Amino acid sequence: MESLDGWIDRVVLGERPILVASDFDGTLAEIVEDRDRACLDDRARASLRALSAAPGFHVAVLSGRSLIDLRSRLSGIATGARDPLWVSSDHGAIVRDPSGELETLVSDPPRTQHAALVERARELAALFGGARVEAKARSVALHYRAVPAPKHAALTKAFRIACAAQRATVLDGRRVVEGCFGRADKGRALSHILARLPANVGVLYCGDDATDEPAFAVARQHPFGHALHVVSDERLTPSVDVNGWLARPAAWIDLLETLASLATARRSRDAG
């Protein structure tokens, strides 16, 4: 299995174009109890800005958050009028390219089933103190980070039953369970982005959760790809192969800074 240093030598220093793709929560930003407070720190924002402005580098952020929510947390990356980022929201259901064009990779859910799942999720949130419902266009998420641990099993079981009744696919995350309508995933979104970049592009993907595993697989199968998993107490190892592990989100930001420095060196060398 290729090491990170080996991948950098072969791909980044090999002068080919690079796609640097990342999850948001637990990867670019620390997991926090109140998800509304999750944000990029100054180092992460500066690294994304530098990479996205570097010739030959492309940057993508893939998240389960809604598009409006995710883009609001990525503000301040652009150095000009054009937004430089590829953004995928709703676990890969929507992809927005740097020109602002949107592509929806799954169809809209049945309204009756979606509404019924939202209603049941809200009932469960009222029964289990601390639970929070996030109703998105193509899914319903039940966050339970603030629910006492002894109640987690009962809450998630009840929500799984509700998902089955409405024919929604269940996605498990870090203290969140989500019922999704359609067959979206981050691997499909990553493949969609890669297909719109040069054929010889290298790809580095980093994530921390089960929802990142389809993207890990795409990166691992790519001839110039590399997949990194951010370790947490809640998820020590993924269920698919990766090339390496990082101890915390700060280690991913360290790597982004290193890549930004290499991008600057490449640009200086090309200019000379």
Q: What CATH number corresponds to the domain at position 232?
A: 3.40.50.1000
pLDDT at 35 over 70: yes
Residues with a catalytic annotation lie at 23
Pairing of strands 132-135, 85-89: unpaired
Return d(Cα 172, Cα 176) in angstroms, integer: 6
Domain coverage including residue 30: 4-105+185-271
* 162, 180, 198 - which closes a domain: 180
Q: Does residue 74 sit in the same domain as residue 202?
A: yes
pLDDT at 33: 84
Q: Does residue 96 sit in the same domain as residue 37?
A: yes
What CATH number is attached to the domain comprising 151?
3.30.70.1020
* Average pLDDT of the residues in 247-270: 87
**41-46, Cβ contacts within 8 angstroms, sequence gap of 24 or more:** 41/253, 43/253, 43/257, 44/253, 44/256, 45/76, 45/77
pLDDT at 266: 73
Q: Does residue 165 sit in the same domain as residue 263?
A: no
pLDDT at 101: 95
- Give the range among 123-132, 160-169, 203-212, 230-239 with minimum mean pLDDT: 230-239
Q: Does residue 100 sit in the same domain as residue 13?
A: yes
pLDDT at 235: 84
Q: Does residue 194 sit in the same domain as residue 85?
A: yes
* 160, 180, 200 - which closes a domain: 180
Q: Does residue 208 sit in the same domain as residue 79?
A: yes
* Average pLDDT of the residues in 78-105: 89
pLDDT at 164 over 90: yes
Total domains present in the chain: 2
Q: Does residue 137 sit in the same domain as residue 98?
A: no
pLDDT at 15: 79
Higher pLDDT, 72 or 183: 72
Return d(Cα 41, Cα 21) in angstroms, integer: 17
Q: Tell me: the pLDDT tens digits for 192-211?
A: 999 999 999 999 999 999 99
Q: Does residue 123 sit in the same domain as residue 97?
A: no
